[in-house]
């Protein structure tokens, strides 16, 4: 592999690590298209390499987020109990459900969620304490999942309780299904679910999603290793760039206002929705 390609790989890793750690999405949406469309690598190699880079990204970012107190580990482990079974179901269902139909429906869903993330004035704001209704059926579980962190941007401690955990777990199951069916990272679904449905502040949702991605992406990477889809000369510059980008992304997340992060994530959802519609129309693979 020539020097230009190595620089491309490293630069791709930096961008994917930066955005992936800032938004809690992993970065596969950036890595896979570049490896396949620009560098003309086989899709299996691109996906396997992306998963390893995502693991490096998630582990780097998750460690920093956890050290800063952003990550809600208990919530992440709880949601993984339904997300992983959903991913298994989605993997089997992928053989029977047309991907183009799902892409179109998923694109519509992302447009709605993206609009909600961008347009609404109040969504689990990081500026105030977030509470839950003590009369809800899952209030005991909500209290056990309560957490807090120090937000450098607003200079105060943010405390919150997790609302509607049964709904969130059900949504996690659906997120796992869609992730396997459409080949999308779970973070693009988990972050909005935690933020919009469960009332988790956006920074905590991003950090918790990153922690979850570190667990799930490693499983896929092991499978691709078994299938001989991991090539060290491709992975090495990707991982180096990803670690650099994710380190910078974590620092930016700490300093950016939560409302701006929410809007950036919403814009990202709009872009992904457009890609889904193009895929439905057969204009991209």
pLDDT tens column, 160-178: 989 889 989 998 888 888 7
DSSP state of 196: I
Q: How far is the C-alpha of 7 from the C-alpha of 263, rounded, in Å?
A: 31
Nearest to 174 by CA among 197, 144, 208, 207: 197
The pair phi, psi for residue 172, each rounded to 5°, is -65, -40
Q: How do residues 91-126 score in pLDDT, each as one tens digit?
A: 677 667 776 776 677 778 778 777 777 766 544 445
Percentage of the chain beyond pLDDT 70 is 86
Count of positions (residues) in the chain: 285
Is residue 169 within 8 Å of 85, Cβ to Cβ?
no
Is residue 212 within 8 Å of 193, Cβ to Cβ?
no
Instruction: Evaluate if residue 2 carries a pLDDT over 50.
Output: no
Give the model's pLDDT for residue 95.
65
How is 236-252 classified by DSSP, letter by letter? HHHHHHHHHHHHHHHHH
Give the model's pLDDT for residue 181.
67
What residues contact 97, with CB distance under 8 A and at least 6 apart? Answer: 181
How is 56-96 classified by DSSP, letter by letter? HHHHHHHHHHHHHT---HHHHHHHHHHHHHHHHHHHHHTTT
Give the model's pLDDT for residue 243.
92
User: Which SS3 state, helix, strand or coil, does residue 144 take?
Assistant: helix
**Residue 193 Cα distances to 157, 198, 201, angstroms:** 23, 7, 11
Q: How do residues 47-57 score in pLDDT, each as one tens digit?
A: 788 888 888 88
Instruction: Evaluate if residue 44 carries a pLDDT over 80.
Output: no
The rounded mean pLDDT for the chain is 79
Token pair recorded at residue 156: 């105060």
17 or 134, which is more confident: 17
How far is Cα of residue 25 from the mean position of the Cα atoms in its chain? 2
Q: How do residues 245-272 score in pLDDT, each as one tens digit?
A: 999 988 888 888 777 777 888 888 888 7
Confidence of residue 79 (pLDDT cuts 50, 70, 90): very high
Look up the pTM and report it: 0.77
The burial class, CB within 10 Å (0-12 / 13-18 / 19+), for 94 is: middle
Instruction: Evaluate if residue 72 carries a pLDDT over 80.
Output: yes
Token pair recorded at residue 39: 């560098």
- CA angle 80–81–83, rounded 5-degree value: 55
Give the model's pLDDT for residue 259.
75
Percent helix / strand / coil, the chain, rounded to 5: 75, 5, 25
Give the model's pLDDT for residue 285.
62
Q: How far is the C-alpha of 34 from the C-alpha of 36, rounded, in Å?
A: 6
Helices within 69-201 (DSSP H only) = 73-93, 99-119, 139-144, 165-182, 187-192
Q: Return the domain boundaries, the chain.
A: 3-280
94 or 14, which is more confident: 14
85 or 127, which is more confident: 85
Give the model's pLDDT for residue 1.
44
Give the model's pLDDT for residue 135.
47
Q: How far is the C-alpha of 285 from the C-alpha of 280, rounded, in Å?
A: 9
Give the model's pLDDT for residue 120.
60
Q: How far is the C-alpha of 266 from the C-alpha of 105, rounded, in Å?
A: 17
């Amino acid at each position: 592999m020539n020097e230009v390609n190595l620089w491309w790989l490293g630069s791709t890793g930096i961008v994917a690590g930066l955005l992936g750690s800032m938004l809690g999405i992993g970065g596969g949406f950036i890595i896979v298209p570049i490896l396949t469309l620009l560098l003309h690598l086989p899709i299996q190699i691109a996906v396997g390499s992306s998963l390893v880079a995502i693991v490096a990204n998630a582990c780097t970012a998750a460690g920093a987020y956890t050290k800063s107190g952003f990550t809600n580990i208990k919530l992440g482990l709880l949601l993984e109990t339904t997300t992983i079974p959903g991913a298994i179901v989605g993997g089997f269902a992928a053989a029977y459900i047309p991907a183009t139909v799902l892409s179109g429906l998923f694109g519509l869903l992302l447009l709605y969620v993206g609009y909600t993330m961008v347009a609404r004035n109040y969504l689990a704001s990081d500026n105030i304490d977030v509470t839950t209704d003590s009369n809800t059926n899952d209030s005991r579980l909500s209290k056990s999942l309560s957490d807090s962190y120090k937000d450098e941007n607003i200079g105060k401690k943010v405390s919150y309780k997790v609302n509607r955990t049964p709904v969130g777990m059900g949504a996690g199951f659906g997120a796992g299904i869609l992730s396997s069916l459409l080949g999308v990272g779970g973070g693009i679904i988990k972050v909005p679910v935690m933020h919009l449905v469960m009332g988790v502040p956006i920074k905590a949702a991003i950090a918790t999603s990153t922690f979850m991605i570190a667990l799930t992406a490693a499983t896929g990477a092991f499978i691709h290793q078994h299938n001989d889809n991991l090539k060290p000369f491709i992975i090495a510059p990707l991982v180096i760039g990803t670690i650099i980008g994710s380190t910078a992304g974590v620092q930016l997340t700490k300093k950016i206002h939560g409302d701006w992060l929410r809007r950036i994530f919403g814009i990202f959802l709009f872009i992904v929705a457009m890609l889904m519609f193009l895929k439905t129309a057969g204009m991209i693979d």
